[in-house]
Homo-oligomer: A and B are copies of this chain.
């Protein structure tokens, strides 16, 4: 057990308990607001033959694709020991040839296909830090999904995977813009520093009220739109590649890990050899 968690080995952590609630299908909803101190991840399952391309795509595009773990087994052994990736996510999407053909709460029927699973960081971790340090996060205030937009910036391609950078947007009061940038920069494992602030047209976004994914949010006078690389980017690349078979978590229905968010903060010095 890592030093940042004080739980007794005999008792399950809140994250372990939450995963059990998903496993028994008691919990099937979006995970925003649950286990707030723990890292939540995007999860993608791919046939083994696409793994090298996808690893490279993540490596070449670390801001939208911050890979926290890749596994060839059914367990996220580093970030969530004891987990079962085939049961512990509230809702999954099954994709065939780039189209969602089914959603389900359990994918055990696919566990003999030799899939590899990739867990990518999600903005919940730095949003938690923003709120704790006094920076408002509008879509949370308005109980909405974060607004997301397709940009005119291309990801670096890798094998079959390519496509535009997709960003999330948060309107930030002008006097807190630098603070918001600095806080998120401390979390390179979950998208890191923003990629742009101000004029949306400079990155190919015509109208902030016309989202490509998620919900539009209120932008008040004196607020600056800030744009972060978004985890929908790799999902879109997988859909665009039209590979015959893939599974992802259903958007918003994330995988809860045993990692504390604070662990991903590079300014939090642990003096311990650990994944970072």
A residues near B (Cβ < 8 Å) are 51-52, 55-56, 59-60, 62-63, 67, 69-70, 78, 153, 156, 165, 178, 181-182, 185-186, 188, 192-197, 229, 266-267, 269-273, 275-276
Contacts and interface: CB of A to CB of B under 8 A. Distances in A.
Contacts of A55: 52, 55-56, 59
B267 A185 contact: yes
Listed from nearest, the 5 A-B pairs whose CB atoms lie closest are: A195-B273, A52-B52, A55-B55, A181-B269, A185-B266
Give the residue among A70, A178, A182 with the most B Cβ atoms within 10 A: A70
A185 B194 CA distance: 19
Contacts of A165: 273
Contacts of A78: 60, 156
Contacts of A153: 273
Contacts of A70: 56, 59
B276 A63 contact: yes
Contact of A192 (B63, B69, B193, B266): B266
6 contacts: A59-B69, A188-B276, A193-B270, A195-B271, A196-B271, A229-B273
A184 B229 CA distance: 24
A272 to B, nearest CB: 7
Contact of A62 (B63, B186, B275): B275
Given A52-B51, A62-B276, A273-B195, A182 B67 contact: no
A267 B182 contact: yes
Contacts of A196: 271-273
A186 B182 CA distance: 11
Contacts of A269: 178, 181-182, 185, 193-194
Contact of A63 (B51, B156, B273): B273
B276 A60 contact: no
Nearest to A56: B70
A197 B271 contact: yes
Contacts of A67: 59
A43 to B, nearest CB: 15
Contacts of A229: 273
Contacts of A266: 185-186, 188, 192-193, 266
A151 B194 CA distance: 37
A59 B270 CA distance: 19
